[in-house]
Amino acid sequence: METDINNEIHQECTTKEIFQKETKQSSDDSTKDVATPSKPLSKKQMKRMEKAKKLGVNKLIRRKREKLQKKVKRKLAEEEGIVTERTGISRKELKRMKDNQIPSDVSVAIDLSFDGFMSGKDLNSCVSQLLRVYSSNRRAIRPFPLHFTSLRKGSEMYKAMDHHEGWQNWNIIWHEESYLDFFDKSKLIYLTSESDNVLDSLEPGAVYVIGGLVDHNHHKNLCNEIALKHNIRTARLPLSEHLVIKSRTVLTINQCFDIILGISEGKTWQQVLMEALPARKKIQLKDDVKTQTNKEKSSVENLEKVENILDKNEKLNESIKNT
């Protein structure tokens, strides 16, 4: 195995050397070209050209080196029986996943009408959460038709989105209008931690609305009030039903999205909640706590039994001594 890797490095190095030689050669050639009277270039332009060429070549070499290092590391880990996890999904894998995706019959709309309720920093956090939402949906087996609504050109949210080049090409449906303008009201269900209804399962054909708001709890009940004002159904995620947690726990946009995405893919509430919520929150499943207390109870009972046996033994020994 090691010889294989060494050979590969050797081969890659030779390729690299050839590559370097070739690029040097072409750079020399191009300098010659530049020097011909038919293409008169200023000194400044020539310098700029050289610099750009060098930068490009260095970038290519660096990428090649990094790729090779990763490959060697993975092979060595495989040799030692260590299971390595890829940090990202390759384009090829993404393409394969896309081909196997079956769109969900449930839609999700992210309500982006909260410009005035967020600081610049919160707007940026909101956009990063939207990026996560998009990324989860891209990788899903059953992606939701995903709508970004009330995303008006020129709004602060639109400007914040515009920091991410190419977002207009994402596989989302974005609207300047509100979700109220194009969805059947009877299909809408606004997800909000303040709702009195608990979400049990996803309703086929329904459109779940998530508030595109990062507010650090400064605008409690805002989404619930909006939904009630417009006579839209509401639901909260069943957190307190499955977790040892406060009944009104407010999650981020992407956590909320990942949870319903998991449910649409057939996972259980316990599974999706444990996957979506960060371990640092020290969240425990209610079932686990029950088993733990049962275990503690039975170990106390066992201890009592042992103590009883010891007592009986002691008494027996004493009575033997006395006879």
Ligand X SMILES: C[S@@+](CC[C@H](N)C(=O)[O-])C[C@H]1O[C@@H](n2cnc3c(N)ncnc32)[C@H](O)[C@@H]1O
Q: What is the contact surface with ligand X in residues (CB under 6 A)?
A: 191-193, 210-211, 213-215, 219-223, 236-237, 239, 249-253, 256
Q: Tell me how far, at minimum, the Cβ of 133 lies from ligand X, in Å.
A: 11
Q: State which residue, 117 or 158, has the beta carbon closest to ligand X.
A: 117
Coil, strand or helix at 113: coil
What minimum distance in Å lies between the beta carbon of 255 and ligand X? 7
Q: How far apart are CA 73 and CA 84, in angstroms?
A: 9
- Among residues 46 and 228, whose Cβ is nearest to ligand X? 228
Considering only CA atoms, which of 149, 144, 117 is closest in space to residue 133? Answer: 144
> In angstroms, what CA-CA distances link 179 with 209, 210, 244, 295?
8, 11, 34, 50
Question: How far apart are CB 138 and ligand X at their closest, in Å?
Answer: 20
Report the residue number, 68 or 253, with the smaller CB distance to ligand X.
Answer: 253
Min dist CB 249 to ligand X, Å, is 5
SS3 of 201, please? Answer: coil
Is the CB of 121 or the CB of 321 nearer to ligand X? 121
List the one residue out of 192, 252, 251 whose CA is nearest residue 225: 192
CA 270, CA 272: separation in Å to the nearest integer?
6
CB 19 → ligand X: shortest distance, Å?
50
Q: Which is nearer to ligand X, 68 or 179 (CB)?
A: 179
C-beta of 104 vs 255, nearer to ligand X? 255
We find the least distance from the C-beta atom of residue 114 to ligand X, in angstroms, to be 9
Name the residue nearer to ligand X (CB basis): 104 or 129. Answer: 129
CB of 190 closer than 8 Å to CB of 91: no
Q: Which residue has the tokens 């316990």?
A: 270
CA-to-CA distance for 232 and 3, rounded, in angstroms?
67
The answer to whether 240 touches 246, Cβ cutoff 8 Å, is: yes
Least separation in angstroms between residue 111's CB and ligand X is 8
The structure tokens listed for 126 are 């909101």
With both helix axes pointing from N to C terminus, report the angle between 269-276 and 253-264 in degrees, rounded to the nearest 10. Answer: 150
Shortest distance in whole angstroms from residue 210 CB to ligand X: 4
Give 111 or 140: the residue with its C-beta nearer to ligand X.
111
CB atoms within 10 A of CB 153: 8
Q: Which residue is nearest to ligand X (CB)?
A: 211
Contact 188, 203 (CB under 8 A): no
Mention every residue, 6+ apart, whose C-beta is less than 8 A from residue 153.
176
Using alpha carbons, list the distances in angstroms from residue 147 to 179, 237, 289: 9, 20, 38
